């Protein structure tokens, strides 16, 4: 009798789990990934023995860039069923996204072994193997010699001839002005290129300007005006233009702060970054930039910006961009009260704004330093610090936010770095705000974009917007990870 009761309860749990999974699949198809994750989690709690529940949740984690959690789910699925090819494929995808290519290669070999007639698996293995060989080649030819500035490789910029056939905007003798940028934006909308002479000139002048700043910049909301904080734009040029259409072009009274991750993933990163740099030159005191984790070499090589730069210009331009990205400040403080950073807060206690101000940022993040923390960290609802859901960096709780703000006389943290379905999220008792400005991220997520309008009295207004149409060029066009 007891056995029958137990079997009945187990069957009820299995039926409930299957229903939860079906609801989660529906939410996933509608691109409500966070809600789908919750339903998959309930399904797993009801019946933790079903391999597919873990691989389904792993894919939802991948969509939200929680690659570390996806990896854990794939591991559990493999533990339950070592012959389940999809679990190895999910683990390979998570490892690829975390730039762990040899680990991904091993799993893809297993997928091919389990499904030798699957042409997609064979293709993915070949693509991954090419990346592994490329990385090994680049390591082999690398050296520690001191090299000249990447700008030396661009040659004498002033001597470059602009052909008569070029029909784009020109920089006159007085330099870059508002009229030039407006024409440049329209030129880019028509899918036309900026002449390399002007591209190099913008790169050089902006790098020189950014080098003059500390790693933490004091920003002021214009009197009788406003400051708009935007999050990740990720190469979504037409959505960037839409922000300016909705909120107005930059001006002395309509200031902007773009909080990192300008490039990669979207296939119009060149157009995004040159538009932002040009506005920075026109309004240096009212247009601000923060470095994101995608303004780094490793990410650019894998998520598309290097390939796009080579396709639209050349490798010399990419190397110059690397130097420019190294010069972008790491954080900003608005009116001495609002801390703005791309990722999050430090992994150590007792960090002050002056310590951040003195960071030597003119390099790539080391992976275990204060700069890496600020570029990569994410908030969590739990107290203390925890393991990152991304597989890189760490997470910080509301107590960490409260302590950092109190120690530095601040009221609020604004950060970006994470896609949010509503375009923004207010956490940690209203003390930590995430803002994300790439709607329908990667043409796949279905999220809204958002930005924050801040007035001189430091009141915040959240503005949401939807994605707009763009030319028929999908995300990751220039990335070796395309298709994963």
Strands (E) across 371-445 are located at 378-379, 385-387, 394-396, 412-415, 424-427, 432-435
Which of these is catalytic: 195, 283, 294, 470? 294
C-alpha dihedral sign at 446, 261, 391, 99: positive
Q: Per-residue pLDDT tens for 239-277? A: 999 999 999 999 999 999 999 999 999 999 999 999 999
Radius of gyration of the chain (CA): 24
Q: Beta partners for 175?
A: 172
Asked if domains 2-141 and 150-465 share a fold, the reply is no
Residue 402 has pLDDT above 60, yes or no: yes
Q: Which two tokens stand for residue 459?
A: 């009141």
In this predicted model, what pLDDT tens digit does every residue of 305-320 receive, in sequence order? 999 999 999 999 999 9
| % of residues, the chain, pLDDT over 90 | 91
User: In Å, how far from its chain's centre is CA 58?
Assistant: 20
pLDDT tens-digit map of 80-120:
999 999 999 999 999 999 999 999 999 999 999 999 988 99
CA distance 195 to 165: 11
Q: Where are the domains of the chain?
A: 2-141, 150-465
Q: What's the rounded mean pLDDT across residues 212-219?
A: 98
Tens of pLDDT, residue by residue over 140-160, are 877 654 467 899 999 999 999
Residue 459: CB partners within 8 Å, gap ≥ 6?
Answer: none
Q: Does residue 240 contact residue 275 with C-beta atoms inside 8 Å?
A: yes
CATH class, range 150-465: alpha beta
- CB-CB neighbours of 156 under 10 Å: 7
Q: Within a 13 Å sphere around the CA of 149, how many CA atoms are in the beta-carbon half?
A: 12
**Domain 2-141, second-level architecture:** Alpha Horseshoe (1.25)
CA distance 477 to 269: 11
Q: Confidence band (pLDDT; 50, 70, 90) for 9?
A: confident
The residue written with tokens 């598309």 in the block is 304
pTM (2 d.p.) = 0.94
DSSP 449: E
Tell me how far CA of residue 341 lies from CA of 78, 300, 345, in angstroms: 38, 20, 8
307-353, pLDDT tens digit by residue?
999 999 999 999 999 999 999 999 999 999 999 999 999 999 999 99
Residues 6+ apart with CB under 8 A from 443: 467, 474, 475
Structure tokens at 234: 């990720």
Strand partners for 435: 424
Asked if 294 is an active-site residue, the reply is yes
Q: Which residue has the higher pLDDT, 248 or 368?
A: 248
pLDDT over 70 at 5, yes or no:
no
């Amino acid at each position: 009798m007891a056995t029958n009761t137990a079997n009945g309860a187990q069957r009820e749990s299995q039926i409930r789990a299957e229903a939860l999974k079906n609801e989660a699949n529906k939410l996933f198809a509608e691109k409500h990934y966070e809600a789908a994750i919750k339903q998959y989690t309930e399904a797993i709690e009801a019946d933790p023995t079903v391999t597919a529940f873990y691989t389904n949740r792993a894919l939802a984690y991948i969509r939200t860039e929680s690659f570390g959690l996806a990896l854990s789910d794939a591991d559990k699925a493999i533990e339950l069923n070592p012959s389940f090819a999809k679990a190895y494929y999910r683990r390979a995808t998570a490892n690829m996204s975390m730039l762990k290519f040899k680990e991904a290669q091993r799993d893809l070999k297993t997928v091919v072994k389990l499904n030798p007639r699957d042409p997609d698996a064979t293709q993915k293995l070949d693509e991954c193997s090419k990346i592994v060989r490329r990385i090994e080649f680049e390591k082999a030819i690398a050296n520690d010699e001191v090299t000249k500035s990447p700008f030396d490789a661009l040659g004498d910029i002033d001597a470059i001839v602009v052909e008569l056939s070029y029909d784009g905007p020109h920089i006159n003798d007085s330099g870059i002005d508002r009229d030039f940028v407006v024409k440049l934006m329209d030129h880019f909308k028509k899918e036309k290129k900026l002449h390399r002479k002007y591209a190099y000139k913008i790169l050089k002048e902006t790098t020189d300007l950014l080098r003059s700043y500390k790693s933490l910049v004091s920003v002021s909301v214009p009197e009788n005006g406003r400051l708009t904080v935007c999050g990740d734009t990720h190469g979504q040029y037409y959505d960037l233009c839409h922000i300016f259409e909705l909120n107005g072009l930059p001006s002395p009274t309509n200031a902007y702060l773009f909080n990192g991750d300008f490039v990669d993933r979207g296939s119009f990163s060149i157009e995004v970054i040159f538009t932002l740099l040009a506005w920075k030159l026109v309004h240096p005191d009212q247009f601000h930039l923060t470095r994101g984790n995608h303004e780094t070499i490793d990410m650019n090589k894998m998520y598309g910006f290097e390939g796009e730069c080579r396709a639209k210009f050349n490798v010399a331009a990419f190397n110059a961009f690397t130097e420019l990205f190294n010069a972008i400040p790491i954080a900003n403080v608005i009116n001495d009260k609002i801390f703005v950073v791309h990722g999050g807060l430090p992994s150590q206690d007792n960090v002050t704004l002056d310590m951040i101000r003195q960071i030597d940022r003119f390099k790539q993040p080391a992976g275990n330093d204060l700069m890496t923390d600020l570029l990569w960290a994410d908030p969590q609802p739990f107290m203390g610090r925890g393991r990152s859901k991304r597989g890189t960096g760490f997470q910080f709780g509301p107590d960490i936010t409260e302590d950092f703000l109190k120690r530095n006389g601040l009221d609020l943290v604004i950060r970006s770095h994470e896609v949010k379905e509503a375009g923004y999220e207010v956490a940690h008792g209203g003390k930590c705000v995430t803002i994300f400005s790439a709607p329908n991220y990667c043409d796949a997520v279905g999220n809204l974009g958002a930005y924050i309008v801040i007035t001189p009295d430091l009141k915040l207004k959240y503005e949401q917007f939807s994605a707009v149409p763009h030319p028929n060029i999908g995300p990751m066009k220039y990335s070796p990870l395309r298709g994963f």
